[in-house]
Structure 1
Amino acid sequence: MENIKVRANPNSMRIEGKDQRTMRHFNPYPKHGLLFSVFFAFMIFYGADAYDPLDPTGNITIKWDVVSWTPDGYVAVVTMNNFQMYRHIMSPGWTLGWNWPKKEVIWSMVGAQTTEQGDCSKFKANIPHCCKKNPIVVDMLPGVPYNQQIANCCKGGVVASWGQDPAGAVSSFQVSVGVAGTSNKTVKLPRNFTLLGPGPGYTCGPANVVPSTTFLSPDRRRKTQALMTWNVTCTYSQFLARKNPSCCVSFSSFYNETITPCPNCACGCPNKRNCIKSDSKLLSRVGVNTPRKDNAPLLQCTRHMCPIRVHWHVKLNYKDYWRAKVAITNFNYRLNYTQWTLVVQHPNLNNVTQVFSFDYKPLVPYQSINDTGMFHGMKFYNDLLMEAGPTGNVQSEVLLQKDINTFTLKQGWAFPRKVYFNGDECMLPPPDSYPFLPNSGYMDSLRFTVLATLVLSVLMVIL
């Protein structure tokens, strides 16, 4: 089961507050509770709008640049730009589909391939790469021959998020289309684009003709222009991707032995009968960690039944600073999370002093508020979150400078308001269950115990 062991730390510098009570009436949205509830229900009902308040302009833009005309069609470079700040496409990678408006075929591709050829029986001499009305395209794997590559191809469909790695947030391939128009006036744009990355959740709009792209030559001395360019914009909705959350959050603190766990069945319990206990002999079977084609998880048995748990521990309270520990645990035996991201919203993130073993980048969705930041693994160190088991976790600590006007340990202020893992919002515990400050009598006793321990230690050294 879950292994979180935290004890109250009597040596944790200063502790604020005289007579602190439980948080039964704590509400993170006290003035706008009803409005927030209505808005949240609206967003669930209209999930396809895919609006993310922490990344309001995030999307994946697919750009088609016609670079040359052929006797019966054109050659185009297709570029996929991931403009999402913290949501990337992980292995097994993206899958792109569309419908041809006429009887187009794909003569050849560089840097990608279709999953099926389709019926090409009417072609006798040159056989097209694909004759399907609705082709499905996937990226090539790394290591393909050089003559089958173009720039930004062949990553196995893995595309980094823009906020984490702008250079890796792009994927491209080249396609030669036949039985199509041979001019700007006769070419018909593909329709009904679909993007899977690697599961559902993306909704793509129609293709729209835009000003032609300008390219620079390799020596950057000469400009060339695409003959025709159109864009397709795809946005992500967590509500379309899955019925239940895919992660949950638990809390603990140095000033209270109570641990606030993830809510029961936080991610739903459809896999409760098929989960495996951490000490099960089934884990020694060959192939137990092999991913399935349908991406079905094999979860460790827990109360929350989530693939990912994020634990936030308020660790220390100094005079001018405070310290939190963040741990991410993978409970899915079949999946490694590559290039993972963790987004946290907390009012004190505007004063982050040091992050010890994660990379950190502030996110500023609104100019006047800087309360959101993105954590991600250091490359070649902990950017791979292994499958469930002894190595299936990563952790770091965050040192934050206090704002004397806002800092408090009362009413759960030290815990995050929102947490996202890989772009999906995690379920937080109910606010009235957060670890609370003990009352003043307990604090006086704690101070006395600490002082007595120090005096005894000094006497033992002297004697």
Structure 2
Amino acid sequence: MTPNFCHHVRSAWFLVVVCLVVVSLPGAVTFDPLDPEGQIMIRWDIMRWTGDGYAATVNIINTQQYRGIRSYRLGWKWAKKELIWVMTGAQATEQGDCSRHPTDPPPHSCSLTPTIIDLLPGQPYNMQTANCCRDGVIAPASLDPKNSVSRFQITVGNTGNTNTTINIPQKLSLGSPGAGYSCSPLKKVLPTKFPSPDGKRNTQAFVTWNATCQYVPNLAHPAPVCCVSLSAFYSPKIVPCADCACNCPPKSTTPGPHAIAGTDQTCIAPNDPQALQNALVVKKGTKPPSLFCTKDMCPIKIHWHLKENYKHYWRAKITITNRNLQMNYTNWNLVIQHPNFVNFTRAFSFTEKPLTPYGDIANDTAMFWGVKYYNDMLMQAGPQGNVQSEVLFAKDSTFTLSNGWGFPSHVYFNGDDCVLPDPSDYPHLPNGSSKLRGGLALLACTLMSITVCLTSLF
């Protein structure tokens, strides 16, 4: 080998190692192959100048296909000593020290590092803006495009009031319960144009700043939050979620709440009705249990059951179980990868939409969500803490029941990757048969359906 060749090899290996280290760093932005262009965009449009600053409209725009924000928290650091005189459509969590500005009314916030949250629904008209007041909920673009934008208006003082004297806010951050994003710096871009209703005239912002925020799983959750269990009509074996899939359960088996290692949370046994009743009726000043105690300790469990095998079709049943004793999941969504989604026929109780980020190259992914006013809210753990639907597929030449083909390859709940069992544990066909039909299938299906109804909810 020539010295130059060896030098190139060493350089290539160095780049590979650097890339692996960067990807493994906590908080590193990860590429999402199911949503390669999905992101949150922050658009800051300065609409007019004031005596000591400017008035701006700030938009938080979600272009992600299946990942929403439950309750946004937008933060930044002022470049100097700016302050917020007035806000509509949102509010700062802290007023800060406004003693240097003894005005009536006082400034909305004098904090050097403000954190902004949305208002609750039902605010007085003079406190609202368009696309505000949903308690910070920003829906995925493909699920609910009308609610994929949140907006507020802000009047900033103690800063410049020309294009050349204003300062760009720094260290932008975007967070939410159960969500973490890494944001680029705000930078100046071409001013946003606003067409008139008749489309004959455009107005534009004086100045526009843009930033993009990418979802980072490690910032959102230090551990997985969902897992998958499996069963099939042709096998008596029910494959549970992997042990310790999200956390390890407490060792104690006594009744009542138990501390969850490494957290400030507690769990209760799912077969302890008195503890469940106490958890659902929270007394003032007490901290309620967080989860059911299970071997996998996941707040959400997805169960996939291969239910029936017809001549030209096959059917599966999906059950989503909420074990979180403190949360209702409103407008949840489920993303599933399976090679037969190209032949997907129908979902009976969920709404379905194919996800095709690369056109028709790989049509193997679908997104499901609840039917409005029927099962779009997944209630907290307890008798109402589950939703379910059956899904029907047409067969083609690739269909088989061998080697776990009938089970999904990836499952995501509200954008988070769920832990699947080890493939070696999947239910196996009896006697190696790949075309189980007739009376044996019907009998097995009936027996398994009874068993699955009892086991898939925990």
Superposition TM-score tier, normalisation by shorter sequence: 0.7 to 0.9
Q: In the alignment, which residue of structure 2 is the partner of 1:237?
A: 216
Cα deviation per residue 1:356-379 (whole Å; 9 max; x = unaligned)?
Answer: 110101001223111111001111
Report what 1:345 is aligned to: 337
Structure 2 length-normalised TM: 0.84
- Residue 82 of structure 1 pairs with residue 82 of structure 2: no
| Percent identity for Structure 1 against Structure 2 | 52
Maintained 8 Å contact 2:308/2:316: yes
Q: Structure 1 residue aligned with 2:81, among 91, 103, 106? A: 103
Return 5+ residue gaps in structure 2 as ranges: 1-17, 251-257, 260-265, 444-458
- The answer to whether residue 44 in structure 2 is matched with residue 64 in structure 1 is yes
Deviation, 1:118, is: 0.7
Aligned residues: 410
Query: Shift in Å at residue 302 of structure 1?
Result: 1.2
**Relative to structure 1, is the Cα distance of residues 217 and 179 closer, same or farther in structure 2, using a 3 angstrom cutoff?**
same
Residue 214 of structure 1 contacts residue 226 of structure 1 at CA under 8 Å; is this kept in 2?
yes
Match of 1:265 among 244, 259, 269: 244
Shift of 1:239: 2.1
In the TM superposition, residue 445 of structure 1 has moved relative to its aligned partner by 12
- Give the secondary-structure state (helix, strand or coil) at the position aligned to 2:367: strand
Q: Distance in 2 between matches of 1:445 and 1:231?
A: 58
Runs in 1 of length 4+ with deviation above 3 angstroms? 38-47, 217-222, 270-273, 286-294, 440-451
Counterpart among 382, 386, 398 of residue 389 in structure 1:
382
Residue 340 of structure 1 deviates from its aligned partner by 0.4
Structure 2 counterpart of 1:213, from 172, 192, 208? 192
TM-score with structure 1 setting the length: 0.83
The separation in 2 between residues aligned to 1:418 and 1:78, in whole angstroms, is 36
Cα drift, residue 226 of structure 1: 0.7
Structure 1 residues 395 and 318: alpha-carbon distance in aligned structure 2, compared to 1, 3 A threshold: same
- What residue number does 2:373 align with? 380
* Alpha-carbon distance in 2 for matches of 1:182, 1:337: 44
Label 1:108 to 1:441 Cα distance change in 2 as closer, same or farther (>3 A): closer
**Superposition map of 1:120-131 within 5 A:** 120-126=98-104, 127-131=106-110
Q: Which residue of 2 aligns with 1:320?
A: 312
SS for the counterpart of 1:411 is: helix
- In 2, Cα distance between equivalents of 1:238 and 1:423: 9
Superposition RMSD in Å: 2.7
How far does residue 243 in structure 1 lie from its aligned partner after superposition? Answer: 2.1
Deviation at 1:50, TM superposition (A): 2.3
Which SS does the other structure have where 2:109 is aligned?
coil
**1:198-242, Cα deviation, whole Å (9 max, x unpaired):** 245211110011111111334554321111101111111112222
Quickly say closer, same or farther: Cα 1:217–1:446, change in 2 above 3 A: closer
Q: Deviations over 1:135-192 (max 9, x none)?
A: 1111011000011111001111011111211111110000000111111111111000
2:120 is matched with which residue: 137, 141, 149?
Answer: 141
Question: In the aligned structure 1, how far is the partner of 2:391 from the partner of 2:210?
Answer: 41
Distance 1:146 1:293, change over 3 A: farther
Query: Does the Cα contact within 8 Å between 2:315 and 2:393 map onto a contact in 1?
Result: yes
CA contact (8 A) 1:101 1:189 kept: yes
C-alpha displacement of 1:286: 7.2
Distance in 1 (CA, whole Å) between partners of 2:274 and 2:212 is: 47
The answer for the alignment partner of 1:51 in structure 2 is: 31
Q: Secondary structure at the match of 1:239?
A: helix
Gaps of 5+ in 1: 1-37, 452-463
Residues in 2 aligned to 1:332 and 1:352: alpha-carbon distance in whole angstroms: 31
Partners of 2:170 and 2:153 lie apart in 1 by: 18
Describe the SS at the equivalent of 2:126: helix
Distance 2:286 2:36 in 1: 32
Is the counterpart of residue 117 in structure 1 residue 110 in structure 2?
Answer: no
Task: Give the secondary-structure state (helix, strand or coil) at the position aligned to 2:342.
Answer: helix
Is 1:427 the counterpart of 2:419? The answer is: yes
Alignment partner, residue 232 of structure 2: 253
Which whole-Å CA distance do the structure 2 matches of 1:212 and 1:99 have between them? 23
Aligned twin of 2:448: none
Aligned to 1:222: 201
